[in-house]
Chain A
């Protein structure tokens, strides 16, 4: 099968990165889609934690909100929101924090607060939610977001959630417990932080995408690794599972424009 959308490629590529058995703190939208696809394909033993309180959620349809009843009904246990953040995240029990964002910079710092000046914003975004502490305390952070010049920004107006700060060993010096962003998956490619500088570097390009397209969709001169590979195409089973999940979700919630992010 070769007919698939760039969104499907992105979701499949992100899902494949999630190790089976990992404890994953999931953001709503694209991260939740990718994490559940992983659970239904390559990582059946992944433990999904949502900030509203469900631990080990196994939703059959994707949640529209972070506190959908489906998450509670399919979870191993449901705890309070303070407990989620205090015992499970801050307590060091989360392997992977899976996040999206409106904007990201070359060191994978994230903005979900405001574009333009804080007091006179050009665009006001929803704000922090759980992301600042997920970004700080999860052992690793995975990021999934569509790539564009506006989203991949050279200088963020606001850093909501920490990535690798200004690069190098900055995170360690600041005393952050987690290793920070380890992978950024977009609709064009997969990036990883350089082992030394921590600057995001393209390591894998999705089939049919050119380097020029990636450069064009990045707000800084994006670097490519010495050995860039082609991302393996989505397999039939991955696409069928993802489409069935989306179809069940649309049937349950009523199809909505813009519901994907």
Chain B
């Protein structure tokens, strides 16, 4: 970090998205709704397409005989995810397991971007004239809410699909306190459902944003020769966090969708 840039500027630089306003056609984040965080979406796409490409590549050459190295890795992942799904969900649902797999792999990869050196990609993009680039998509609430709201829509969809409109209404009015306290029941149900997307996305976003911020702070505040120690320790700890956060997002999705399928 050069001394020409102040600490505050450095930190702010690292917290600014590469944004494009669709309405005004300008590369500027003016706080309006019509802005796209190009960096978040770009990294998310690159990571998503790369793991989907890898999976498709393996799935096309899949053999029930002796598996190769790639197939081994993918199979282990699939086995792990389908085991998690089967453990809690005991019904027929073609979407749930692939959904859980996609969430786990994608969120893990997006979280993993946090472990890249904090200045590496911004410098690289900076050298070709792109002055802002946030590398961790899951430290952007748009990305985490995008995931959790999709899951939320699926929860609502399956609630109505399994129980029917009347079933959902009946369940909302009579559970958990019986029909005489139906206003309270309904309120409980609404809060319970609405909390789900927030709990999913804010947990992930909070962890990743805080994790990134600590790397930024280490890089901003400490002399260069001592940064390796706190940043290294945090990175090692962060390996655990990114895996756990990806796992929790997947697990909660499974649990929520299982609850949507269950009749009270």
Chain A partners chain B: no
Task: Tell me the B residues contacting A by CB distance below 8 Å.
Answer: none
